[in-house]
Amino acid sequence: MKAHTDYQKIEYQGQPAFVLVPWEDFDRIRPWLEGEKIHAAGVPQAVVEAHILRDTPIVRAWREHLGITQGELAAKMGVSQAAVAKLEKPNAKPRRATLAKVAAALGIARAELDV
């Protein structure tokens, strides 16, 4: 697990103006900054931060953001809790059909899982 990083905040006239982050973190979030994907898809900032900055798998980031358990998501999807746990592993590569079921169960658009 990655150690916590304290980012340096630089203020201008009493307001936050810049944040100094390690290159590795910046490189990971650069695609998000360069595109409008977050805004177009409507992905909440908390989900983005969990997924991009803390390496939380996207299914887990959404589930935790919505405040539901693996068991609750499993019940909505019609699968076992163990199946949801597999989807939330860092190296999971769920099929598009599976992601569509996840999105429907979470009440989000399928595109909001494409992070």
Whether residue 43 contacts residue 113, with contact meaning beta carbons closer than 8 Å, is answered with: no
C-alpha distances (whole Å) from 106 to each of 69, 75, 89, 100 are: 11, 11, 18, 10
Residues of the chain short of pLDDT 70, as ranges, are: 1-4, 31-41, 115
- What pLDDT does 49 receive? 87
Domains of the chain: 8-113 (1.10.260.40)
pLDDT tens-digit profile of 50-71? Answer: 888 888 999 999 999 999 999 9
Q: Are 92 and 86 in contact (CB under 8 A)?
A: yes
The H-or-E segment that residue 8 falls in is strand 8-12
pLDDT at position 3 is: 66
Separation of alpha carbons 38 and 115, rounded Å: 9
pTM as predicted:
0.65
The pLDDT of residue 67: 94
pLDDT at 1: 45
